Amino acid sequence: MKVLLLFFFLATIIATCQGASHPVVGHHKPGFRSSRVPRYPRNSRGSESHKPGFNCLSWRLTVETNNIRDWAVVPQACLSYVGHYMLDYQYREDAQAVADAAYNYAKSTPLIKDFRNTWIFDLGDTVLSSLPYYAQPNIAFGGTKYNSTKFAIWEMKGIAPVVPGILDLYKKLQSLGYKIVIISGRSESLRAVAIKNLKNLGFINWEKLILKQTSDKGTTSLVFKEKKRNELIAQAYRIIGNVGDQWNDLLGEHAGYRTFKVPNPMYYD
Ligand SMILES: *[C@@H]1O[C@H](CO)[C@@H](O)[C@H](O)[C@H]1NC(C)=O
């Protein structure tokens, strides 16, 4: 009986502590989140999803599901909404939920004998986050048109933080026996800076880091990535899973037995 009482006592304390550390906001239930994710500064402004005549939450859902394509900038009415989404807890938790789903699939899938069981990662905003770049006032979370020169200057610094949940997923996939292949539309000239950035964040032992060569210039991301996957298949790699923040990472031939879309409402490639 004493043991039982002690158990209830401890259980109550644990439940109370968890409740206190989790902001409870409608759809956000205590216990259904991960505390492992690094925190960006919190912004206290409330929901701004619903503007007269324009629902930004619906817009975000529509772009994430690839129902709207080829959009150039975030709609003016949703700049503030997207900014808060990206900096507050929801983006981190959405990204973590994607990583959790990917891991659950990976661990429940038997590896294929005699093949190189492979997991594909895209790089930008799937592994390396460009949120610090997009959070700059003149970029406005994708509210201004993409400027490749400006972005390249930031990229060259190699200071990208990790996308929430992704390092943990990467390591867990490796311990399950998957080979990690990173395929990115970035130029080969950015290899050294990308490697340094990845290693600083704790990414090690990838099987391949495939970047765009001069000869690939002018090829769309979709065609380039499909071509690289076909080359892998010819070398006895089997693509079990594939994670990317853009639909062009996840469509085309040999995209993976399962694909996982990391949220990104800031731009469409
Ligand atoms: C892009 O950024 C560069 C570097 O900041 C700037 O010189 C150039 O004018 C920008 N281009 C456009 C079209 O805004």
Count of beta carbons in the 10 Å neighbourhood of residue 40: 18
> What percent of the chain is modeled with pLDDT above 90?
80
Residue 204 φ/ψ region, left for φ over 0, alpha for ψ in the -120 to 50 degree band, beta for the rest: beta
**What are the structural domains of the chain?**
2-28+48-261 (3.40.50.1000)
pLDDT digits (tens, 9 = 90+) for 161-176: 999 999 999 999 999 9
pLDDT digits (tens, 9 = 90+) for 10-64: 444 344 333 333 444 456 565 554 444 344 344 444 456 777 778 999 999 999 9
Ligand 1 centroid, distance to 146 Cα (angstroms): 10
Whether residue 208 has its Cβ less than 6 Å from ligand 1:
no
Rounded to whole angstroms, how far apart are CA atoms 233 and 230? 5
Query: What DSSP string runs through the chain?
Result: -HHHHHHHHHHHHHHHHHHHHS--BTTB-TTSS-S-SPPPPP-------EETTEEHHHHHHHHHTTSS-S--S--GGGHHHHHHHHHSHHHHHHHHHHHHHHHHHHHHSPPPTTSEEEEEE-SBTTTB--HHHHTSTTTGGGTS---HHHHHHHHTT----BPTTHHHHHHHHHHHTPEEEEEEEEEGGGHHHHHHHHHHHT----SEEEEE-GGGTT--HHHHHHHHHHHHHHTTEEEEEEEESSHHHH-STT--SEEEEPP--S---
pLDDT at 50: 74
Mutate to test the pocket of ligand 1, among 150, 153, 155, 156 (most ligand atoms within 8 A of CB): 150
pLDDT digits (tens, 9 = 90+) for 216-268: 999 999 999 999 999 999 999 999 999 999 999 999 999 999 999 999 999 99
Ligand 1 centroid, distance to 136 Cα (angstroms): 15
Whether residue 150 has its Cβ less than 6 Å from ligand 1:
yes
pLDDT at 22: 40
pLDDT at 28: 58
pLDDT at 53: 77
Q: Which residue has the tokens 């610094």?
A: 157
Ligand 1 centroid, distance to 147 Cα (angstroms): 6
Ligand 1 centroid, distance to 180 Cα (angstroms): 35
Residue 267 CB partners (closer than 8 Å, separation 6+): 134, 142, 146
pLDDT at 16: 36
Query: What DSSP string runs through 181-221?
Result: EEEEEEEGGGHHHHHHHHHHHT----SEEEEE-GGGTT--H
pLDDT at 87: 97
Ligand 1 centroid, distance to 215 Cα (angstroms): 26
pLDDT digits (tens, 9 = 90+) for 111-131: 999 999 999 999 999 999 999
* Contact between residue 77 and residue 56 where contact means Cβ atoms under 8 Å apart: yes
Whether residue 207 is predicted with pLDDT greater than 60 in this model: the reply is yes
Nearest CA residue ID for atom 11, ligand 1: 147
pLDDT at 161: 98
pLDDT digits (tens, 9 = 90+) for 214-230: 999 999 999 999 999 99
Share the mean pLDDT of the chain: 87
